[in-house]
Amino acid sequence: MKDSIYFTVEERAFFERIIDDGLMQDGRRGVYWWIVRIAIARSLQESDEPDERYKAMPKSPSELHLEQITGRAKEPDYDDAFALLLSLRRDEDLFENHDLYVEVLQRHARRGMELLHESWLPGTSFHDVLLDSLYFRPSVDDDHSTNKGDVQFDILKKGLQQIGVDANPIGEPISGPRLSRHRLTLGGVEDYDRLRRGLEDLAFAIGLGTGTIAFGREPGERRVVLDIPRPSGAWRDVPWPPLVEAFMSSDAALAVCPGVDVIGEPVVFDFVEAPHMFVAGATGSGKSVCMNAILLSMLASDNPPELLMIDPKGVDFAEYDGLKLLRGEKVVTEMGAAVVMLRAVVEEMDARQERLREFGARNIAEARAAGSPMRRLVVVVDELADFLMSRTGAEEPLVRIAQKARAVGIHLLLATQRPEAATFPGLLRANIPSRIALTVQKSSDSRIILDESGAEDLMMRGDMLIKLAGRPLLRAHGARVDVADVKRAVAAANSRHT
């Protein structure tokens, strides 16, 4: 019977750092399992289950036993409590399957370690990180007053002096969900160029470990803004439900809200104007969560579109199965079937054109105003790269839809984790002007998505750059859409629309 949980050598080294620098226990042995328990608690804060990555046996394992972690067969013994908690969470009886129980515990422990690693910088207080991440999950509703992760102006001022820039603050910094905005008046015109060129040195001078400082002008004499990232332990998540109201009042034909801007204001745009969108980011960047925010925005509309969803991986959108507004009420996971359905959409464009003529309308909005029940259709393709590489002839119908479908109310929402020239080919690119880039590995990936670099400096977890036709590039932080939000939205849509 399994009773060990394994960690990599690096994870073991991280235990040591937490013990020595974080908890300040003078390297006393015997507290490893405290950290493992903290890590499990941290992982349980996430709404999803830790994936296979955390299951694999590390090459050079360091081992802890259930006896140490849950106190199994010792005093006090929390083993049953752990098993019950995980069984309830997974809706699965782990008392019946001991090996699975140990594996699930290992996955949570290792993911929790990774999350702690992301949010704690040695040299800062580990206790603060714990308080923030385990007890408080402040949301974007909180007021925008100074946050403890903000760089104070005296530190910023010293950094500015080191790069030879004279500046004075205008008011207090504004704490957005992840960045703090400092508004400044520069001493002289020459300071502008010095600041622009010295941003990296400034980041170094004020001790910024990761992330880059963004810089922009604002109206007023010699006024600029600096957006400075906070450590991830001081980020505030952006929950989904409060955002819904913000975009319901929008007069857009199909309002979509993927998240909030740097200072926490909802970002809302009209998908009809988009009229197609390409979303890309490296694995784990928050692409699925971002797609969910877009889709839930659409479902919340008084006049939601019909959806056709294609997901070759078949895992990320399972909660949409059974949605009455979903064509076939099922996400299409088989690529051959998906191509057949896309070709049918191409034919449907002609039929829709015919119906527009019957109503004497030039587009779907006019047809609906004249009494046509025609709904918009949004064709969603996740993992576009896999789909196009499968050589099933998927590109041709997608290009035709991208070129022609706007007037008849058919829109594309395409996503990929592999933004490469071959997987976002020329004809699609040319016809899909609206793009969202989540974090990518290289600036060349960013250029494929946005036609400019920048997305390689984003900070994961839904951090994004949005490019809409004719508008300047916008930095945004994605709403944290949970599985429960999706289930609620699907149930609500099913009760409102048939």
Q: Report the candidate in 407, 350, 405, 416 with the shortest Cα–Cα distance to residue 379.
A: 405
Exposure string (b/e) for 176-213, b if CB count within 10 Å is 16 or more? bbbbbbbbbebeeeebeebbeebeeebbebbebeebbb
Q: Please state the closest distance from residue 6 (CB atom) to ligand ATP, in A.
A: 22
Q: Please state the closest distance from residue 417 (CB atom) to ligand ATP, in A.
A: 4
Q: Please state the closest distance from residue 44 (CB atom) to ligand ATP, in A.
A: 12
- Residue whose CB is less far from ligand ATP, 287 or 376: 287
- Residue whose CB is less far from ligand ATP, 237 or 445: 237
CA gap 489, 498 in Å, rounded: 14
- From residue 37, alpha-carbon distances to 31, 73, 109, 119 in Å are 10, 17, 7, 17
The alpha helices in 325-393, defined as continuous H runs, are: 335-358, 364-369, 384-389
CA gap 226, 159 in Å, rounded: 13
CA gap 225, 242 in Å, rounded: 27
- Residue whose CB is less far from ligand ATP, 159 or 281: 281
444 labeled part of a ligand binding site: no
Q: Report the candidate in 427, 303, 421, 316 with the shortest Cα–Cα distance to residue 364.
A: 303
- Provide the sign of the torsion angle of the four alpha carbons 192, 196, 197, 203, taken in this order: positive
- Residue whose CB is less far from ligand ATP, 258 or 454: 258
Amino acid (1-letter code) at residue 438: L
- Residue whose CB is less far from ligand ATP, 266 or 478: 478
Cis peptide before 50 (omega within 30 of 0): no
Residue nearest to ligand ATP (CB): 462
CA gap 121, 208 in Å, rounded: 10
453 labeled part of a ligand binding site: no
- Cβ atoms < 10 Å from Cβ of 420: 14
**Binding stretches for ligand ATP (CB under 6 A):** 46, 48, 237, 281, 283-289, 316, 417, 461-462, 478-480
287 labeled part of a ligand binding site: yes
**Pairing relationship of beta strands 410-416 and 277-280 according to DSSP bridges:** parallel
- Residue whose CB is less far from ligand ATP, 176 or 275: 176
Cis peptide before 76 (omega within 30 of 0): yes
Q: Please state the closest distance from residue 419 (CB atom) to ligand ATP, in A.
A: 12
- Residue whose CB is less far from ligand ATP, 289 or 414: 289
Written as one string, the DSSP assignment of 115-178 is: HHHHH--BTB-HHHHHIIIII---BTTS-----TTSPPHHHHHHHHHHTT--EEE-SSPEE-SS
Q: Please state the closest distance from residue 73 (CB atom) to ligand ATP, in A.
A: 34
CA gap 468, 275 in Å, rounded: 10
Q: Please state the closest distance from residue 281 (CB atom) to ligand ATP, in A.
A: 5
Q: Please state the closest distance from residue 479 (CB atom) to ligand ATP, in A.
A: 6
- From residue 297, alpha-carbon distances to 177, 217, 477 in Å are 20, 32, 16
- Residue whose CB is less far from ligand ATP, 290 or 364: 290
- Residue whose CB is less far from ligand ATP, 306 or 463: 463
Q: Please state the closest distance from residue 155 (CB atom) to ligand ATP, in A.
A: 27
- In terms of Cβ atoms closer than 10 Å to its own Cβ (0-12, 13-18, 19+), residue 274 is buried
Q: Please state the closest distance from residue 116 (CB atom) to ligand ATP, in A.
A: 14
Residues forming the annotated binding site for ATP?
281-288
